[in-house]
Chain A
Amino acid sequence: MYQRLQTRFAKNKYRLFIFAMLSGASVLSIALWRWRASVTGSINYAFLIWNLFLAWIPFIISYFTYTLTLKRSWLYILLPIAAFLWLIFFPNAPYILTDFQHLSRPAWQDIDTWYDVLMLMWFAFTGLLLGIVSLFMMQEIIRREFGRWIGWAFVLLVTISSSLGIYMGRFLRWNSWDILSHPANIALFALQRVQAPSAQSLVFTGIFAAFFLFLYITLYAFGHLLLERQANDIQQQP
């Protein structure tokens, strides 16, 4: 029993390590905000904590799905529900990047700018990395089941739809759960927007989707750089 736990732990050590790192980063982000609040006596930027909490939801969903779907019998019941919920909540993770815009509010500049920049960097990058890792886990599930190409098609689809999701969150002020509470309104409105898209929505979605895709592929290649090293090491030893 104990030994089994240990081997499982060793097998998943990098996943657990990432989990621990992201948790630590979240705690530190919140601590940075706490300190800011205690120095300035204001609660500016308090919403960052809420946004960070929302960024954790897709990560947790994909983490559980990833672990559970290793058993094949679970897959077909769990995957559609989990994938749907995950997709709704996923845009919250990269969304924090857009919170950098609050730097320009004169009323909120009640502490040195560099401190706010650093604090926002902590929040935004933690959120973004939560998103990247959770997207990777979902891609893995899909790849295992349906193959490599469908896995990448999934990534492309999620990138585009989540960029749209961020647009809806930032400019139309929709929340993930609106789709559950007023699905018909949202669908109708979305259809209208798609038929006559504004220049703003096209430019924003395009640049953001390109950014996210660039980042994801670069990190993916970076991961394979480590694999490449291993392969080369093996090759060098005769």
Chain B
Amino acid sequence: MLNRLQASLIRHRYKLAIFFLLAGASVICVILVAARIAYSDSGRYVGLVWNLFLAWIPFVLAYTAYILSWRRALLILVIPITTILWLLFFPNAPYILTDLQHLAQESSNTPLWYDVIMLVWFSWTGLLLGLVSLYLMHEIVHRALGRIAGWVFVFAVSGLSSFGVYLGRFVRFNSWDILQGPQEIAVSILGMVIDPSRRLVAFTFLFTLFYLFVYLTLYSFGHLLQEKGNS
């Protein structure tokens, strides 16, 4: 029993390492906000903590789905449910990047460089939570349906989630709105898709490209380590 636990710990040590690194980074992010509040006595940027919490949801879902999907019997049951939930919450992870725009509103009570570095911490933690969870889902799809389906999944999710970020940032929708009033949401989204504004097209397109660029670069960076392993 203990032996088996140890073996599985070793086998999954990098996954666990990433989990702890991201948890540690989140703690640092929260400390940075707490220090800012203590220093400036203003509650600005508290919203970031909530956004970071939301960014953890898809990560936890993907992590659970990944572990459960090793049993083939569970796969068919678990995958559809977690995938839908995951897809709903996934845009929250890259969403934090758009919080950088708060820098444009002046605040005189803390040095600017502190806000910049704090937002950089938050945005990268959120982005990495998203990338790793996308990778885990990519793996599940890859294993169940093959390589091409896996990449189609990644491209589709990048596009959809960028649109999701747009909906969150400009239309102020939340992930759970779809559970409360699915019909209204569907109608308003359909309206936007049929007659898209220029902002919608430009934002979604640039964000999708950005996300794919980061994902693909990190994916091949991972393989660079593999090349090293071979030599």
18 new A-B contacts at CB < 8 Å, known A14-B221, A101-B113, A204-B117: A14-B224, A97-B120, A98-B113, A98-B117, A103-B104, A104-B106, A113-B101, A113-B104, A118-B203, A122-B210, A218-B128, A221-B14, A223-B221, A224-B225, A225-B222, A226-B219, A227-B225, A230-B226
Q: Are B135 and A225 in contact (CB under 8 A)?
A: yes
**Residues of B at under 8 Å CB distance from A?**
11-15, 17-18, 21-22, 24-25, 28, 32, 97-98, 100-101, 103-106, 111-114, 116-117, 119-121, 124, 128, 131-132, 135, 139, 169-170, 199, 202-203, 206-207, 209-210, 213-214, 216-229
Contacts of B202 in A (CB 8 A): 115
22 contacts between A and B (CB under 8 A): A14-B220, A14-B224, A15-B224, A18-B221, A18-B224, A21-B217, A24-B213, A28-B209, A100-B103, A100-B116, A101-B112, A103-B100, A114-B101, A118-B206, A118-B210, A121-B100, A214-B21, A218-B128, A219-B218, A222-B131, A223-B224, A227-B14
Chain A interface category by residue count = 35 or more
Interface check A22, CB cutoff 8 A: yes
Q: Which chain A residues border B121 with CB–CB below 8 Å?
A: 207, 211
Q: Report, nearest first, the 4 A-B pairs whose CB atoms are least far apart.
A: A223-B222, A223-B225, A226-B222, A103-B103
Mark interface residues in A14-47 (1 if CB within 8 Å of B CB, else 0): 1101100110110010001000000000000000
What 1/0 flags go to A203-238 for Cβ under 8 Å of B? Answer: 110011011001101111111111111111001000
Q: Are B210 and A121 in contact (CB under 8 A)?
A: yes
B225 near A121: Cβ-Cβ < 8 Å:
no
Interface secondary structure of B, over-half rule: helix
